[in-house]
């Protein structure tokens, strides 16, 4: 197997300590790692440029490989088979598990650990560690310590633990060793502050202890909090662990994906940084967490947004569309001109300028999440109740405005149907929550405003030409986000207009594989994009609500069958080749999987009742 250049996006597996993340390829190369936070400057970034850092650990001979996550965990085990023998490599970002209860603690050494174990024969294994901090800008200096080496350069020093002699050449630490049956070699790379003056390497026994403690933590979390027993239970449980892996444990924020600038079309410019938390995902995320996680994650995620949005910006609007994982409001976008991009896809972007956009759907997303939260968890405190009431009033005041829509189009603002729909959701949920919000006197006004939005959507969002609800008021372009109309309860799934919209999306926005595109209208950006995973799951969800279970299952399986060998899904799929596209793995896609599977399970239950 060659390790020249980055492999396809689907070749990677995710490692996470619920604070930072790494991607490891089938060839045993960690080509992306951001520690200690998901949005930290990458130490390994070869997925974006050949010379931007990696850590390859694999046999020196040609090999075949199979891999899986250790049951109930996000710890990866790869088996490498060579002509001379077989070894396994177990990879993890490790954390300190809790002794009781939740399983995944907030304490983490911000370390990658890799345990090599002999299975049969004799296999020579080589390690090549090439940190390039700050997205490849820094080439660190190494010096030896007992049991490994330390590298310094950039804001953080790293300690490499290796039980074999380490040789340094061109800012790269290399070692090799022969592994026989029953033998173990533990390697680790951990952040150790700017100087690492007193740092010491870990022994193989210490590596094993951290590794198996992490496995136990994941398995404890899974056993206690994953009770879904419907169709595709294994996939739903795995997707729940993916969502936990994409959650920043100290705050409860869930990132959209752990990567930046993986392209929506190879060689194209649609390359964005997704290492932030979007309000857009809030209500769908909470629904998925109820199915595949537990109230702890629900509460943490909801409280994150309420806390992050607690301070008004200069315009007096307290809710923006995305935040940093610590609740930061500014995530200014810039380009990394020194990186070639994934398979030549430029620009490479850090930060996301969409934080400045106006997207009116956020009010509905947050109030829908609040309705789920208040109904199942606990009473809302006075400050939260007041904040949510203000958000409902803001939806009532602003729903007539144009905005940039759910897909964050970078052209002129428009009157997007989805934005109006979510303003309706905001007012509908606020009216239902009025007593929880200590705002019974505002219920009637919220209901009147809700009905005004409803009338506008029915009058201006429907196109007789398209015979469907469309992308924005007054046009005939289809948009998959209209599939949310029955999902949020605006109209029932068997309403003729809803059924016509679902059929129009299935006919005009769906490819030969059954995968759904967001839209086909021009959006001001060059190039094409793939079919969207979440949109295909929305189609399955809407069909399930309508009781059309055969088509729902077909849509569900069309996208789910394209998951990679370790069950991960990207944002998009190339409809021609089935190749994954976009940032990876994508929380929104796994959220869609969970919610669609649950909707199909509920529809089957209703039919059998």
Q: Helix, strand, or coil here: 16?
A: strand
- Closest of 509, 448, 446 to residue 477, by C-alpha: 509
| pLDDT confidence of residue 412 | 84
330 falls within a domain: yes
Q: Are residues 447 and 551 in the same domain?
A: yes
Q: What is the pLDDT of residues 573-587, one digit of tens each?
A: 998 889 999 999 999
Q: Are residues 463 and 335 in the same domain?
A: yes
Q: What is the pLDDT of residues 28-38, one digit of tens each?
A: 999 999 999 99
Q: Concatenated DSSP letters for 220-247? A: HHHHHH----STTHHHHHHHHHHHHHTE
Q: Are residues 185 and 247 in the same domain?
A: no
Q: What is the pLDDT of residues 426-462, one digit of tens each?
A: 999 999 999 999 999 999 999 999 999 999 999 999 9
pTM of whole model > 0.85? yes
Q: Return the CATH number at 176.
A: 2.70.98.10
| pLDDT confidence of residue 261 | 97
The tokens of 30 are what?
A: 């960690």
Q: Are residues 198 and 250 in the same domain?
A: no
pLDDT exceeding 70 applies to what percent of the chain? Answer: 94
Distance of alpha carbon 293 from alpha carbon 104, whole angstroms: 13
Q: Are residues 197 and 237 in the same domain?
A: no
Q: Is the pLDDT of residue 100 over 80?
A: no
Q: Are residues 329 and 249 in the same domain?
A: yes
Q: Are residues 596 and 516 in the same domain?
A: yes
| pLDDT confidence of residue 176 | 98
379 falls within a domain: yes
Q: Are residues 217 and 271 in the same domain?
A: no
Enumerate the H helices of 226-314 as residue ranges.
233-245, 282-292, 295-308
Place of tokens 């002509």: 83
Q: Are residues 293 and 197 in the same domain?
A: no
Q: Return the CATH number at 435.
A: 1.50.10.10
Q: Is the pLDDT of residue 303 over 70?
A: yes
Classify residue 301 by its DSSP letter. H
Number of domains in the chain: 2
> 190, 221, 252 — which closes off a domain?
221
Check if the beta carbon of residue 389 is closer than 8 Å to that of residue 367. no
> 191, 221, 251 — which closes off a domain?
221
Distance of alpha carbon 568 from alpha carbon 509, whole angstroms: 24
Q: Are residues 397 and 334 in the same domain?
A: yes
Residues with Cβ within 8 Å of 441's Cβ and at least 6 positions away in sequence, in order, are none
Alpha-carbon torsion, ordered 433, 434, 436, 440, to 10 deg? -160
42 falls within a domain: yes
> 199, 221, 243 — which closes off a domain?
221
Q: Is the pLDDT of residue 139 over 90?
A: yes
Distance of alpha carbon 28 from alpha carbon 30, whole angstroms: 7
Q: What is the pLDDT of residues 241-273, one digit of tens each?
A: 999 999 999 999 999 999 999 999 888 888 999
pLDDT, average across residues 477-498: 97
3 falls within a domain: no
2 falls within a domain: no
Q: Are residues 592 and 443 in the same domain?
A: yes
Q: Is the pLDDT of residue 416 over 60?
A: yes
Q: Are residues 211 and 348 in the same domain?
A: no
1 falls within a domain: no
Task: State which residues form the domain around 359.
Answer: 226-608
Q: Which helix (H) or strand (E) holds 392?
A: helix 382-398
4 falls within a domain: no
pLDDT, average across residues 402-411: 83
212 falls within a domain: yes
- Of the pLDDT bands very low, low, confident and very high (cuts 50, 70, 90), residue 200 is confident
């Amino acid at each position: 197997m060659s390790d020249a250049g980055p492999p396809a996006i689907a070749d990677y597996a995710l490692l996470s300590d619920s604070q930072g993340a790494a991607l490891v390829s089938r060839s045993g190369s960690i080509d992306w790692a951001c520690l200690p936070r998901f949005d930290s400057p990458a130490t390994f970034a070869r997925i974006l440029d050949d010379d931007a850092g990696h850590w390859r650990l694999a046999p020196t001979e040609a090999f075949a490989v199979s891999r899986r996550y250790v049951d109930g965990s996000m710890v990866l085990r790869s088996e490498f088979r060579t002509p001379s023998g077989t070894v396994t490599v177990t990879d993890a970002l490790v954390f300190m598990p809790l002794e009781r209860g939740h399983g995944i603690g907030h304490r983490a050494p911000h370390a990658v650990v890799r345990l090599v174990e002999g299975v049969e024969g004799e296999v020579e294994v080589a390690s090549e560690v090439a940190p390039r901090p700050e997205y490849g800008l820094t080439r660190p200096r190494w010096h030896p310590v007992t049991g490994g080496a330390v590298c310094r350069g950039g804001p953080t020093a790293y300690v490499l633990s290796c039980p074999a002699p380490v040789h340094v050449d061109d800012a790269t630490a290399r070692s090799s060793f022969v592994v026989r049956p029953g033998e173990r070699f533990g390697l680790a790379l951990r952040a150790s502050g700017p100087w690492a003056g007193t740092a010491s390497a870990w022994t193989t026994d210490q590596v094993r202890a951290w590794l198996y403690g992490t496995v136990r933590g994941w398995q404890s979390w899974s056993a206690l909090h994953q009770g879904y027993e419907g169709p595709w239970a294994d996939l739903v449980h795995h997707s729940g662990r993916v969502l936990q892996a994409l959650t920043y444990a100290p705050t409860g924020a869930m990132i959209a994906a752990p990567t930046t600038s993986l392209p929506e079309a190879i060689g194209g410019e649609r390359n964005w940084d997704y290492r932030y938390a979007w309000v857009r995902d809030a209500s769908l995320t909470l629904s998925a967490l109820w199915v595949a996680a537990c109230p702890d994650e629900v509460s943490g995620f909801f409280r994150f947004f309420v806390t992050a949005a607690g301070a008004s910006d200069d315009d007096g609007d307290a809710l923006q569309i995305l935040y940093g994982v610590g609740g930061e409001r500014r995530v200014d976008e810039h380009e990394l001109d020194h990186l070639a991009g994934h398979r030549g896809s430029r620009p490479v972007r850090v930060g996301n300028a969409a934080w400045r956009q106006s997207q009116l759907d956020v009010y509905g997303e947050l109030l829908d999440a609040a309705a789920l939260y208040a109904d199942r968890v606990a009473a809302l405190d006075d400050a939260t109740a007041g904040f949510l009431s203000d958000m409902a009033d803001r939806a009532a005041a602003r729903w007539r405005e144009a905005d940039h829509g759910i897909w964050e189009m970078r052209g002129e603002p428009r009157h997007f149907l989805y934005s109006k729909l979510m303003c309706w959701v905001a007012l509908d949920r606020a009216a239902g929550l009025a007593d929880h919000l200590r705002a019974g006197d505002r219920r009637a006004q919220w209901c009147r405003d809700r009905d005004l939005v409803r009338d506008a959507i029915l009058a201006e969002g429907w196109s007789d030409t398209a015979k469907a609800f469309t992308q924005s008021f007054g046009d005939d372009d289809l948009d998959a986000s209209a599939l949310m109309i029955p999902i949020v309860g605006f109209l029932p799934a068997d309403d003729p207009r809803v059924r016509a919209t679902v059929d129009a999306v299935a006919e005009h926005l769906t490819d030969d594989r059954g995968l759904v595109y967001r839209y086909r209208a021009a959006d001001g950006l060059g190039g094409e994009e793939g079919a969207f995973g979440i949109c295909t799951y929305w189609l399955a969800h809407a069909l399930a609500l309508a009781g059309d279970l055969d088509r729902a299952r077909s849509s569900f399986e069309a996208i789910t069958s394209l998951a990679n060998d370790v069950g991960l899904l990207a944002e998009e799929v190339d409809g021609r080749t089935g190749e994954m596209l976009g940032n990876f793995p994508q929380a929104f896609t796994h959220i869609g999987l969970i919610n669609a599977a649950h909707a199909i399970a509920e529809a089957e239950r209703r039919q059998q009742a």
